[in-house]
Structure 1
Amino acid sequence: MASKFYAVIIGAGGGTGGAVASRFSKEYPVVLLARTPATYESSVKAINEAGGKAIGVNANAGDRASLDAAFETIAKELPDHKLAAAIYNASAGS
């Protein structure tokens, strides 16, 4: 991918968040953030297998230090890229 931008989807599981990540991956590398890898692993795998670029990062959206650490990881994984879009997919579940 030639894009020097990326998209972040917070709360990217297999439902709406995964669908949004899949759509954005057609234009940008995508970063899926969730508290546990099990939440984003299948979406990351599907996007990468389809020829897109996706990475998963553990983060708690309610914790500033956790988000700071996540964006440090993103900067290492996608150097010279800029944030194009950030989607917060709040879950109604428990």
Structure 2
Amino acid sequence: MPGSGAPREAASAGSRRGADRRRTARRAPQQRAGRLYDALPGPKELVGFSAAEGAHLHCEPMGRARFEQRVFDWPAARLASGPPVRD
């Protein structure tokens, strides 16, 4: 039948565009985090959170303990060594 493949092809193309938009949306926060990281002066560490840890979504809702451990361990390690030595 002529034209019978067109709707299927259009739906397939639409689903590919949707998948591309979702992939781009997931990368956008990582790109913004990288720009912020680059703009910050001083010692710093960019840490990612994974789905396996339950901490991959915005605000790490399923992995708050992992988030808090990483966030609060970083300054604690720096404060434990005392103030920086100045020349």
More helix by share: 2
Structure of higher RCO (CA pairs closer than 8 Å, 6+ residues apart): 1
TM-score range, shorter chain: 0.3 to 0.5
User: TM-score, normalised to structure 1's length?
Assistant: 0.32
User: TM-score, normalised to structure 2's length?
Assistant: 0.33
More strand by share: 1
